[in-house]
Every structure is written in structure tokens, then in C-alpha cells.
Amino acid sequence: MTKFLEKNINKIIGIIIILLIGTFYFINLFNIKEYNTYFFYMDTDISIRIFTNNKNKAEKALKKAEDIYKDYHMLTDKYNKYDGIININYINTNNSNDKYLKIDKRLYEMLEYGIKYYDITNGLININIGNITDVWKKYRDNKSGIPTYDELKNSGEIDINQIVLLDKYRMLNNKPNIDLGAISKGYTTEIVGNYLESIGINKYIINAGGNVKVGEHYKGEKYKIGVQSPIDISKTIDIVKKNNTSVVMSGDYIRNYEYDGVLYSHIIDPNTLFPANNIKSVCVVTENSGLADVLSTALFLMDIDDGKKFISDFDDVEVLWYTNDNKIIKTDGFNYNE
């Protein structure tokens, strides 16, 4: 018996170590708790849920995540100024004679991102469309009437080339009218998700309105993310069962208003200057929340055939369209409800 133990002692020790590691793993697994926070930025209710056994780390992470949303909210705010911050409102409305504006690195990079996707989407994502969105916002807020095409056309330029970025985080003081509404939520949500993962928090759920980003499941399963019905938001039309992904929806049921029996969404086609009405909604599933946000807006502005052709150039992106006649059309890989 002694010789047997001597011969196999290393194997026995190895088994004991594996058992101890497994025990500690399951103890930690059962000690995982949910920590959450809720706030309102970017005209959106935002919730973050993280799952960890480290309370102090969780509380610091949630505070930092909220600070990120707050910072980007102020930087991208089109309608309000903030002391000491050169934000979108300041860029659009300042009366200084300065030839250049020195802007925050984070805002500079977001403007670069918007200009990049102007080219990729053939101008459908146009962050200099603020003159048009301002007119529509006035009518939407008043809930009365719609603008004429001449009123929209005469409201000002929407030329993307009016936004000129220079070195050292400077831009020409060209008095553009920038609106980052098409990219800000998804872009910021991706930054927050990357931050959480960078500090070792991989189990999380971020819900920023129609923008959902999830990490690993806290029970080792798959998250179930409902695709909302555009005609009855209390119902779902599909389920995305997936981890480490983003699910983003765009549609005419979000921030709209009705006039004379017609529903007008907040998503403006820069070619027609009017809200798009090709479909009722579109859902994009891909890993990067910023990309999903951009693509969902661009696809909402296209008819489905053009959208299918456009999306074929992207890897690991799947799409669900909800048509005006209440049909559901999916890309071949949109089969997550299994």
C-alpha cells in the first residue's frame, strides 16, 4: 500500500488540487450577485446590470460607467451648453471669430467615426444633418403639421464637408450643424462595455433604449434578448439567444408623432429630407454596439433589397426587418431562437 501511494502521490495531489479549484469555483459562482444602476442620458432610459462577487469593484464600475454616459451626453448634446465644455451645441452655435476650435479627444474621435460611416453608407449616415432635424423637432414638439420641402431645403446646408477635422484635436470653426443622434448611443454603449471588460467584469447587461449589449451570462447560459414588435411594444417578434453581442433596433415606433393619420419617425432620410417609411423596424445583431447602431439607422433608410445587398459586405452581422405589411424578413444567419 505504501509503495502504491509513493508511486501515485503526484496523481493524488493533482486530483486534490483540481477538486479544491472546482470547489472554490462553485463557491465563487454561488456568491455572484447582481449590482445595477439606472439613469437617463441621451434622451434615453439606461440600465446597467453587472454580476460579480466583488461588491466594491461592482460599485466603482457602475459609477464609472454612468460617468462615461454622462460625459458623452454632455459632449454630444445638441441643445444645451455646459460650463467649460466645447460640445456639439457650442460648435454649432458659437459666435467666436476663432479660425479653429480645440475639442475634446473623445468628441473628435466620434466625429471621425461619423464621417467614416458617411462614406460607407453612401451618405445615409450624415452627422451634419442638424439643420433638417431641427426643423422636424420643432414640428414634432408642437405635434402640429409637417414642414414643406422648401422649408427644409432652405433651412441650411447638410454638406458633410463642412466638418473639417485637423491635427491635434482641432477642427475648423465652420459653423456646421452637427447631430450625433444616429451614432451616440451605440458608440457610447460600446465604450462602456469595453470598459467593463477591461477591468475584468465580463458578465453584464447594458440596455440603452433600443441598444442592448451583453457579455457572458452570469449562470453560464445564454442571454435571451427580445426583438420588440413595432406595432405592439409589449410583445416580441423574435428572441436572440446569444452572449457577447449587441442587439440594436430602429423603427418608426420610437420618438415619432402622428399628423393627419400619418406616423412620422425621427429618422430622417438626407436624400428626401423627410422621415423614412420603407419599413416599420429593423433589428441588427453583431458584436459591436456602435456598428449595430449605425447599421440599424442606415438600413431603416433603405428598402429591403438594397439593405440585403449593403449588409452582405459586413462579416458577422445579421438583420431582421419588419415590413410595412407586417411581414418578418431575416438574413440567413438570423436563427438565434434555438
Cβ–Cβ < 8 Å for 292, 211: yes
**pLDDT over threshold 70, residue 91:** yes
Q: Return the pLDDT at 259.
A: 85
**pLDDT over threshold 60, residue 181:** yes
Cβ–Cβ < 8 Å for 319, 334: yes
- Taking the C-alpha atoms of residue 53 and residue 86, their distance in angstroms, rounded to an integer, is 40
* Mean per-residue pLDDT, 227-240: 92
Q: Return the pLDDT at 252.
A: 81
pLDDT in tens, 97-154: 999 999 999 999 999 999 999 999 999 999 999 999 999 999 988 888 999 999 999 9
| Sign, CA torsion 286/292/296/299 | negative
Confidence bin at 30 (pLDDT 50/70/90) = low
Q: Which residue has the higher pLDDT, 111 or 233?
A: 111
Return the DSSP state at 160: G
Q: Find the farthest-apart pair of alpha carbons in the chain and give their distance in angstroms, rounded.
A: 97
**pLDDT over threshold 90, residue 234:** no
- Taking the C-alpha atoms of residue 101 and residue 88, their distance in angstroms, rounded to an integer, is 12
* Mean per-residue pLDDT, 76-87: 96
Confidence bin at 284 (pLDDT 50/70/90) = very high
**Residue 240 bridge partners (DSSP):** 225
* Mean per-residue pLDDT, 1-10: 44
Q: Which residues of 32-55 are buried (b: 16+ CB within 10 A; e: fewer)?
A: eeebebeeebbebebebbbbbebe
Amino acid type, 31: N
Q: Return the pLDDT at 254.
A: 73
Which runs of E-coded beta strand occur in 81-233? 100-102, 170-172, 204-208, 211-214, 224-228
Cβ–Cβ < 8 Å for 47, 22: no
Lowest mean pLDDT of 251-260, 281-290, 304-313, name the range.
251-260
* Mean per-residue pLDDT, 245-263: 86
Q: Return the pLDDT at 28.
A: 52
Amino acid type, 144: S
* Mean per-residue pLDDT, 332-337: 88
Q: Return the pLDDT at 17.
A: 36
* Grid coordinates belonging to 272: 428626401
Q: Return the pLDDT at 10.
A: 42
Backbone φ, ψ for residue 154 (5° rounding): -90, 5
